A = this chain, B = another copy of it.
């Protein structure tokens, strides 16, 4: 199967290249760029250069004779069996339309197709309407742990559009799902009043390849700060997903930070509980037992998920242990009073938070093994 990538010059696009080169069901790649057609992927990303003995890495043959040269989006769509769009918000709808017309599926890594048919939310946060509202009927929000069956159904009905989730929403939603899920069989988590708070930190690759002061090494190395507090566009996406999980509106507070790491998101999610003992004393034995019961529930909730790892007690979710992998690591904790469930959630923002999840969605859409191309284990260091 031939996969097309529009936006291959950006970071998410380049990560798709890396993952699809190792994917056994993909036999060829067609790369495209809106702004840089004619350049080669290996001049933009010399990490993809071949060695003298070219045939020694058969994966690189997927670039084709001229495959390392970026083409136009239209030519890419014409030559592909499935297309990924790694583009800024608002840039992908037209390509999605072209794909459907060509009877092929389109996996969109921007925010354009993450809102189902709720154009009002999209336009309120993104400042513009949809260009092709009718397309959104054909789209599914591609968080497999939540919507796997819906994705399969939609794909079974013909070419489809997947709205690949944002990086923060992926980390936060997977942390919340067992606690919020109305049908999860949860008897140990009694939610209390108050908002769900998601405090998250992202690595700098999340700012993209365009150089700016926010990704200048001298201004972001050895430092941490928040940004867009109360205003980040992932807020409605997280809230929408939480509402789907819970079956009702969820009050969500979300604060993103930027930290001096390359890849990774760590989200700390606070979910208020109905019981506990308000005091300034250390955790009681009851609280420790409640924590263990909730951890067990998380384990059983995700027991069939290939990419979620609920960690044992005393192991904290850490971004370096999911680096370059599609895993989401979750560690489950209670505060000292037992009134706040605290879930630490770690993903690689470029993999489970972008390109890896897109490949996972492609695997589901195409009926491939869901983990194909995504089984490389993370290195710790």
A205 lies within 8 A of B381 (CB): yes
Cβ 8 A contact of A380, one of B14, B226, B302: B14
A268 lies within 8 A of B282 (CB): no
B315 lies within 8 A of A46 (CB): yes
Report B-chain residues with C-beta under 8 Å of the C-beta of A236. 280-281
Copies of the protein in its oligomer: 4
Residues 44-103 (chain A) with a chain B CB within 8 angstroms: 45-53, 56-60
A226 lies within 8 A of B316 (CB): yes
Cβ 8 A contact of A51, one of B281, B308, B337, B346: B308
Give bound CA distance, A350 to B379, whole Å: 11
Q: What's the least CB distance linking A173 to chain B, in Å?
A: 14
12 new A-B contacts, CB < 8 A, other than A52-B299, A204-B218, A215-B217, are: A22-B377, A46-B321, A197-B270, A204-B221, A217-B221, A218-B381, A221-B221, A221-B222, A229-B335, A251-B278, A259-B260, A262-B381
A-B contact pairs, 25 of them (CB 8 A): A11-B381, A21-B377, A22-B376, A46-B311, A48-B377, A51-B309, A57-B375, A194-B194, A199-B268, A199-B270, A201-B257, A204-B217, A217-B217, A218-B380, A223-B321, A224-B264, A225-B318, A226-B268, A226-B317, A230-B336, A251-B278, A253-B340, A253-B342, A255-B342, A350-B381
A interface residues with partner B (beta carbon < 8 Å)? 11, 14-15, 18, 21-22, 45-53, 56-60, 121, 124-125, 193-195, 197, 199, 201, 203-205, 207, 209, 211-213, 215-227, 229-231, 235-236, 239-240, 249, 251-255, 257, 259-264, 266, 268, 270, 272, 278, 280-283, 287, 291, 299, 302-311, 315-324, 327, 331, 333-337, 339-340, 342, 344, 346, 350, 370-371, 375-381
